[in-house]
Structure 1
Amino acid sequence: MSRLFVAIGDSFTEGVGDWDSRYPNGVRGWADRVAKQLSKQDPSWRYANLAIRSKRLHQIIDEQLQPALDLRPTVVSVYAGGNDILELRTGITPLMESYEEMVARIAAAGARPLLFTGFDVRLHPVLEPMRRRNWIYNEHVRRIADAYGALLVDYWCFDEYHDPRFWDVDRLHMSPAGHRNMAAHVLRELGVDHALRSKPLRPRPSLTLAELLRKETAWWGEWVLPMFGRRLRHVTLGDHLEPRWPEPIHPADGLKRLAAERRAQPAANG
């Protein structure tokens, strides 16, 4: 009997930062990489990815959880709540109560939950309250993982992510190197041998103080302020996106080929 890996969540799981126009929604991501390696171990593995960028926990529960469980998965990966933590008006206690109910439903359905802590991102002092909220979130995730026998990828502990080359230019999403490295951590937690190898990282640029200040100013203008602006307007980057792999596929058939076939379908039907 074939096994099924289903990924739900937000931009972390959709693959934002690992940009590749050959894949659905223009991204690849760690989950696609994990699915490919699972298929190399056993070609009968199937894979679905329902994650969409910017989704909050209640949206992931309302829109993704039951469709995921209806697929009768073997493993369900969940990274959810990160976007809620950024909203200081959202209470951590009710948030984590909902998170635990979600994990309980996954376990009760007979699937193995695969959970993640959040990374201890070094933030500007203005954003320090969000960092403290992340610590509290992580403690809850560890407790819930233990209570429900979930696999836990303790992202908070991965020191290599202090290297900026593991991050995209927005500093909030992993770069291709970061996604590749995360896939290796997930496969290790799943107990799966894999062929993923770290590629040489690009050299670190040597910047003057003036260049660093310009870069910091540009980051605030291009990424941080627009993000909070979207929150005030109640719009997100995922509002018009569909899940990347809504129906189970066999990664052994080739993810790029499957994506190309899917892009060709509307033209063929038109």
Structure 2
Amino acid sequence: MAERLAADDPSFRYANLAVRGKLLDQIVTEQVPLAVEMAPDLVSLCAGGNDLLRPGSNPDVMAKRLARAVRDLRAGGADVLLFTGVDPRDTPLMRRLRGRFAIFYLHVRSIADLYGCRLVDQWSMQGLRDWRAWSADRLHMNEDGHRLVAARVLDVLGVPFEDWRMDWPERAVDPRARRREDAQWLREHLVPWVARRLRGVSSGDGITPKRPDLEAFIGYGGAKSAPPAARG
């Protein structure tokens, strides 16, 4: 997304304060004030998913916290992008929590309406229901998944890019291979995730933001990037 926006505006500056695994309170306390200080034109704020996975999380209380953060960002003049999460109905680990997710993301829609924010609705993105859009841990998107979301964000912003409405090519699914994949996921990802929750630690502990300052966008090759070529 940043590459595409930078291609249209030589004065474009970009910061990325996000750190994986952070809870809503941590984002509001540690990241939102920094974003307000930068006085940006546009802020993307995607938060709450990690909280919803934890026992006892209250989507109503979370929504009030999020609303205060959005109010602070809007008071500084920033345009704000909010995100719903992906529908968890296809994920065995999260399917039982679907009602909790739905309540919170309905709140997110309401907050977007109340404060005049733009909304990126990942819940409706059918392309994200395919495991080919996700990394091996089944909780974080891979490069293809992130590209789909970037396309949706750019569509919401009215910036030409590729279509986020996509259908994955059909492929045969071997039930035995799927069972092996499930067992591997259980062993390599679910068990360590549960162990971290029990220890009160996060995969983001000790990790700092990738781009903590609002600076000219430099692509991953070390120079200002041209927009990625659209895929057919």
The equivalent residue for 2:195 is: 229
Alpha-carbon distance between aligned partners in 1 of 2:140 and 2:170, rounded to the nearest angstrom:
18
1:210 partner letter: R
What TM-score, normalized by structure 1, do the two folds share? 0.77
1:256 partner letter: G
Alpha-carbon distance between aligned partners in 2 of 1:245 and 1:197, rounded to the nearest angstrom:
27
Q: Is the 8 A contact 2:82 2:120 kept in 1?
A: yes
The equivalent residue for 1:160 is: 127
1:241 partner letter: I
- Corresponding position: 1:254 with 2:222: no
Alpha-carbon distance between aligned partners in 1 of 2:168 and 2:156, rounded to the nearest angstrom:
28
Alpha-carbon distance between aligned partners in 2 of 1:63 and 1:144, rounded to the nearest angstrom:
21
3-state secondary structure, aligned to 1:76: strand
The equivalent residue for 2:39 is: 72
The equivalent residue for 1:56 is: 23
Give per-residue Cα distances to partners, 1:46-82, cap 9 Å, x unaligned: 0000000100000001110111110111011000000
Q: Is the 8 A contact 2:127 2:167 kept in 1?
A: no
Q: Following TM superposition, by how much is the alpha carbon of 1:202 offset from its aligned partner in structure 2, in angstroms? A: 9.2
Which segment is superposed worse, 142-151 or 226-235? Answer: 226-235
- Corresponding position: 1:123 with 2:88: no
Which segment is superposed worse, 46-55 or 233-242? Answer: 233-242
- Corresponding position: 1:96 with 2:63: yes
The equivalent residue for 1:262 is: none
Give per-residue Cα distances to partners, 1:120-171, cap 9 Å, x unaligned: 02121x6433222111111000000000000000110111112221111111
What TM-score, normalized by structure 2, do the two folds share? 0.89
Match of 1:138 among 84, 105, 109: 105
* Length, aligned pairs only: 222
Alpha-carbon distance between aligned partners in 1 of 2:60 and 2:9, rounded to the nearest angstrom:
40
Change (3 A) 1:60 1:48: same
Alpha-carbon distance between aligned partners in 2 of 1:49 and 1:141, rounded to the nearest angstrom:
21
Q: Following TM superposition, by how much is the alpha carbon of 1:117 offset from its aligned partner in structure 2, in angstroms? A: 0.3
The equivalent residue for 2:51 is: 84
1:95 partner letter: M
Change (3 A) 1:207 1:188: closer
3-state secondary structure, aligned to 1:43: coil
The equivalent residue for 1:173 is: 140
Alpha-carbon distance between aligned partners in 2 of 1:155 and 1:203, rounded to the nearest angstrom:
20
3-state secondary structure, aligned to 1:157: coil
Q: Following TM superposition, by how much is the alpha carbon of 1:248 offset from its aligned partner in structure 2, in angstroms? A: 1.4
2:143 partner letter: P
Q: Is the 8 A contact 1:165 1:201 kept in 2?
A: no
Match of 1:184 among 137, 151, 155: 151
Alpha-carbon distance between aligned partners in 2 of 1:84 and 1:142, rounded to the nearest angstrom:
18
Give per-residue Cα distances to partners, 1:97-137, cap 9 Å, x unaligned: 1011111111111101100001002121x643322211111
Which segment is superposed worse, 211-220 or 73-82? Answer: 211-220
Write 1 or 2 for the structure with the bigger share of helix: 1
The equivalent residue for 1:44 is: 11
3-state secondary structure, aligned to 1:146: helix
Alpha-carbon distance between aligned partners in 1 of 2:95 and 2:138, rounded to the nearest angstrom:
15
- Corresponding position: 1:148 with 2:115: yes
Q: Is the 8 A contact 1:85 1:133 kept in 2?
A: yes
What is the alpha-carbon root mean square deviation over aligned residues? Answer: 2.2
3-state secondary structure, aligned to 1:246: strand
Q: Is the 8 A contact 1:88 1:130 kept in 2?
A: no
1:254 partner letter: G
The percent of aligned pairs where both chains have the same amino acid is 39
Q: Is the 8 A contact 2:6 2:12 kept in 1?
A: yes
